[in-house]
Structure 1
Amino acid sequence: MPSPRALRRTNPITIALAALLTVGFLFFIFSSASDPAPPPPPTTKERLGSKDAASNPLSPPSLPFRKTSVLKQDGTQAPPPVVHYQMTNLTASADPVGNRETVLILTPMTRFYQGYWDNLLKLSYPHELISLGFITPKTREGNAATAALQEQINKVQSGSKGKRFASVTILRQDTEIPLQSQDEAERHKMENQKMRRAAMSKARNSLLFTTLGPTTSWVLWLDADIVETPASLIQDLAAHDKPVIVPNCFQRYYNDEKKAMDVRPYDFNSWIDSQTAQILAAKMDNDDILLEGYRELPTYRTLMAYMADSNQDLHAEVQLDGVGGTALLVKADVHRDGAMFPPFSFYHLIETEGFAKMASRLGWKSWGLPNYFVYHFNE
């Protein structure tokens, strides 16, 4: 015969379970209320200096490069930390050293020039605020350049702490190289320009998009064959507080007529546009590009290369419509806004000249220093 309902309700097992649940619930409530408040999230500076920071400080410190991860007590992998960056506090000012602004120096490299590396080490900008990025092609020459570069990097990064750079990134280019020979004469043939500069644009964009970090204030594009600059190059260019600024690139050579060393203009990609060039562009097909410095295609633009006057102010400024990339300082926000190096015809311009046009369309103007010189290697 079944037990009465009243007896089932007062079953000792039921009473014990109810009491246990009540005690557990009360313990959970009171222990949670007594727990201290969680600490505030670490600042960018604290996170970058902690053991949780990424191996590469150019990336958000979420441990993307580490081989091992922290494990929880149950043996499962702990999630990466959440990092907060106050991008509104990031500055790119006329006093980059005083404001401790980080600089990213980017160099596409096909050949390694010792003069380039020696000059890089002489830069007086604090090295702990400089990160380096390189991209080299997967060719025999590119392999040799990578090996030579890694050897020099190992020496510096294992040497005196004051001379070490904040980080170094080397990428290997995964796009085809249109020219097998990198000799100066072959590189500058007019018929090779569109495919060569399109490949250069892709390399620059890959390098930029991979290495630009949330703490980067300035990006200095420095070609691998620039072997002489003032030691204060970064400070001098940044002092003008321009979004895009380029010095004048010359080349030292032996003048047979003078029987002495001399200098001559090298980079003709920094210019002020002309009506003639605009008329030429208007008659071109959409995929055609205008090139500068070739007799076959006279544009009659005003070239900064021929505006140099050694008796004038070293820091005289001129606004430009096109820029070269041999030594080009850019506020990182210009790139963050979307200005990149078009590997296609962009208003009939390509690569660095196309970059200046794209930056202009985004509201950023380009400037040049006709009397401030950097020097290109002479083959």
Structure 2
Amino acid sequence: MASKSHLPPPVMAVSRSLRRTNPITYILAAGLCIFFLYFFFADGTSIPRIKNLDAGAKQILSSKDAASNALSPPSLPHIKPKLAEGEVMAPPPVVHYHMNNVTVTGDPIGNRESVLILTPLARFYDGYWDNLVKLSYPHDLISLGFIIPKGREGNLATQQLQERIQKTQAPTNKNRFASITILRQDDEIPVLTSEHERHALSAQKERRAAMSKARNALLFTTLGPTTSWVLWLDSDIVETPASLVQDLASHDKGIIVPNCFQRYYNKDKESMDVRPYDFNSWQDSPTAKGLAEKMGPEEILLEGCIITTSN
């Protein structure tokens, strides 16, 4: 049996190469650590996507802030890069957006606030586009979004819309819009030709369900980090004040609905006349709220009428 030996504990020797390391190595390592710490914890203030003017929260969107990729936020103007044959577009960059700089005020022009105008478009009316381009709000602060149903009617509306867009967004036109997005619905919805068919009570559930899905898809696809205001403008609105955006924003309300009127031929007066048109875009009355509390899941309330439908 071997006897126990009293030896000192093992000690690891210092590497010869480590003892001779140049001090510059430590400096470079420290610099690299600082770089990684800055990359992961920096707040991105050096990335100027939304700038402040003076001491206020005014916003300005310049051409160099334009989106450089088709997948970038659609509320920013998109500049198509020139790609060689076979070249693949680079993925969009990771960008820090300071949402606290996006203001919503009663002076949208003074604060350079971006406006997103959204329109579900089943038919294209020249009067709609003519009225749109006459808006006095700075067009470089306006982004447009459209959603068009699938089918023959939708194809025609898309073609007519694109023809007007090509003229309005021409490089020679200094009054171009910031960006325009066109979406096509996956499903073909029935087109109700007459006003009577569109407003028939029996068609309201299916019609309004389709409209809600289309509006949600359009909003969630086009809403970007620079958007201050969203204006829903129906495709058959052909006449508004040029100052429509400023007029609505001046009330300084979160949600506001203007009066809508219709021009028509009054047989009694034998002349053209004007009458109130939109009766279903208002807050519910206490009576309507009371009825809604007693309604079943398959019942909908329309202008005081209850319709019972089944799936």
TM-score, structure 1 as length reference = 0.63
Match for residue 200 of structure 2 among 189, 205, 224: 189
Distance 1:94 1:60 in 2: 21
Q: Percent identity?
A: 59
* Correspondent of 2:26 among 5, 25, 29: 29
Equivalence for 1:115: 127
Distance 1:173 1:48, change over 3 A: farther
**1:224, 1:60 → 2: CA distance?**
20
Q: CA deviation at 1:98?
A: 0.2
Is structure 2 residue 73 aligned with structure 1 residue 58?
yes
- Contact kept in structure 1, 2:75 and 2:227, CA below 8 Å: no
Q: How far 1:49 sits from its partner (Å)?
A: 4.0
Q: Secondary structure at the match of 1:230?
A: coil
Asked whether 1:224 is paired with 2:224, we answer no
Could you say if the C-alpha distance between residues 162 and 67 of structure 1 is closer, same or farther in structure 2, counting changes exceeding 3 Å? Answer: closer
Taking the aligned partners of 1:240 and 1:140, their CA distance within structure 2 comes to 41
Which runs of structure 2 are paired with 1:253-272 in the superposition (5 Å)?
Answer: 253-272=264-283
Offset of 1:256 from its aligned partner?
1.8
Query: Paired residue for 2:164?
Result: 152
Q: TM-score when scaled to structure 2?
A: 0.76
- CA 1:201 to 1:52, structure 2 compared with 1: closer, same or farther past 3 Å? closer
CA change 1:32–1:115 in 2 (3 A) is same
Map 1:101-250 → 2, pairs under 5 A:
101-177=113-189, 179-250=190-261
Instruction: Report how far residue 271 of structure 1 moved.
Output: 3.6
Post-superposition Cα deviations, 1:50-85, rounded to whole Å, max 9, x if no partner, equal: 388334663498x9x87969xxxxxxx987533111
Aligned partner letter, 1:43: P
Structure 2 residue identity aligned to 1:238: A
**Is the 1:255–1:261 contact (alpha carbons within 8 Å) kept by the matching residues of 2?**
yes
1:164 positional shift: 0.2
One-letter amino acid of the counterpart of residue 58, structure 1: P
Letter in 1 for 2:250: A
- CA distance in structure 2 between the aligned counterparts of 1:88 and 1:145, rounded to whole angstroms: 38
Task: Tell me which amino acid in the other structure corresponds to 2:73.
Answer: L
The amino acid that maps onto 1:173 is: Q
Structure 1 residues 22 and 191: CA distance shift in structure 2, 3 A? farther
Task: Identify, as 1 or 2, the structure richer in strand.
Answer: 1
**Cα displacement (A) at 1:160:** 4.1
1:291 equivalent in structure 2: 302
Look up the match of 1:44. 49
CA pair 87-225 structure 1, distance change in 2 beyond 3 A: same
**Distance (Å, rounded) in 2 between the aligned partners of 1:133 and 1:112:** 14
Aligned to 1:364: none
SS of structure 1 residue aligned to 2:275: strand
Contact 1:41 1:83 in 2 (8 A): no
Question: 2:54 maps to which residue?
Answer: none
Counterpart code for 1:130: I
Secondary structure class of the residue paired with 2:97? coil
Instruction: Give the unaligned 5+ runs of structure 1.
Output: 1-13, 70-76, 299-344, 346-379
CA contact (8 A) 1:54 1:60 kept: no
Counterpart-to-counterpart distance in 2, 1:225 and 1:198: 20
Unaligned runs of at least 5 residues, structure 2: 1-14, 39-43, 52-60
* Post-superposition offset of 1:199: 0.2
2:186 alignment partner AA: D
Contact 2:67-2:73 within 8 A present in 1 as well: no
Note closer, same or farther for the CA distance 1:81–1:268 as it changes in structure 2 (3 Å cut). same
1:269 corresponds to which letter in structure 2? Answer: N
The answer on whether the counterparts of 1:60 and 1:83 sit within 8 Å (CA) in structure 2 is no
Tell me the residue number matched to 2:10: none
**Aligned to 2:136, what secondary structure does the other structure show?**
coil
Amino acid at match of 1:267: D
Cα distance per residue 1:160-207 (max 9 Å; x no partner): 443100000000012341x23343221111100011000000000000
Q: Which residue of structure 2 aligns with residue 331 of structure 1?
A: none
Residue in structure 2 matching 1:82, options 87, 90, 94: 94
- 52 and 30 in structure 1: CA distance in 2 versus 1, 3 angstrom threshold: farther
Change (3 A) 1:67 1:184: farther
Q: How many residue pairs get matched?
A: 271
| Kept after mapping to 1: 8 A contact 2:75/2:179 | no
Match of 1:281 among 292, 295, 299: 292
- Larger mean Cα displacement after TM superposition, 168-177 or 133-142: 168-177
